[in-house]
Amino acid sequence: MRIFQAFGLDIKLLIANFVNFLILVFVLYKLGYKPILKFVKERQEKIEKGIKDAEDATKKLENAEVEKDELLSAAHKEAQEIIKNAKEQATLQSDAITKKAKSETASIVEKAKKEIRLEKEQSIVAARKEIAQIAILATEKLLNKKMDKKESERIAKEGLGAINE
């Protein structure tokens, strides 16, 4: 104790200060250090959770990008297939229309040929009749007499027979 007195220290005061220091440390530990540690721990957990959520969101975004690319690829393939089918269908319809038009054209041409043949035959018959009548008229004039109907028909038939040969 003399040492303490030699330095001018009062042991009672030193013990009281030490007790006060311990009380202060205890109060600061209970009121300051624990709540601060709790706050820091909660904050650290929130940060870790935020980092984990960000990583999960990044993975989900990457998965969504891959899925989007797959969907776009599938849609592109489907669109190409639809276009291909539409072109094939258009080609088939075009061919069918062309065939139908050709057959209709051939039918119209054939019909026109038949009509021309018929008109030609009718024209030939009409021309023969006219020629026969002209021949009868010429014969009448040559003979200077009128023929009766039976005789003119006979001569017309004979004239037509000669023309047909």
Question: Poorest-confidence range of 23-27, 70-74, 93-97, 156-160?
Answer: 156-160
pTM of the model: 0.41
CB 147 within 8 Å of CB 136? yes
> Would you list the DSSP string of the chain?
-HHHHHHT--HHHHHHHHHHHHHHHHHHIIIIIHHHHHHHHHHHHHHHHHHHHHHHHHHHHHHHHHHHHHHHHHHHHHHHHHHHHHHHHHHHHHHHHHHHHHHHHHHHHHHHHHHHHHHHHHHHHHHHHHHHHHHHHHHHHHHTS---HHHHHHHHHHHHHHHH-
Percent of the chain residues topping a pLDDT of 70 = 87
User: Once rounded to an integer, what is the mean pLDDT over residues 44-53?
Assistant: 95
User: Once rounded to an integer, what is the mean pLDDT over residues 140-159?
Assistant: 68
Residue 157: name the closest of 123, 132, 135 by CA. Answer: 132
The mean of the pLDDT values for the chain is 86
Does residue 165 register a pLDDT over 60?
A: no
- How many other CB atoms are there within 10 angstroms of residue 128's CB atom? 15
* Stated length of the chain: 165
User: Once rounded to an integer, what is the mean pLDDT over residues 56-85?
Assistant: 95
User: What is the tens place of the pLDDT at every residue in 112-142?
Assistant: 999 999 999 999 988 888 888 887 777 777 7
CB 119 within 8 Å of CB 111? no
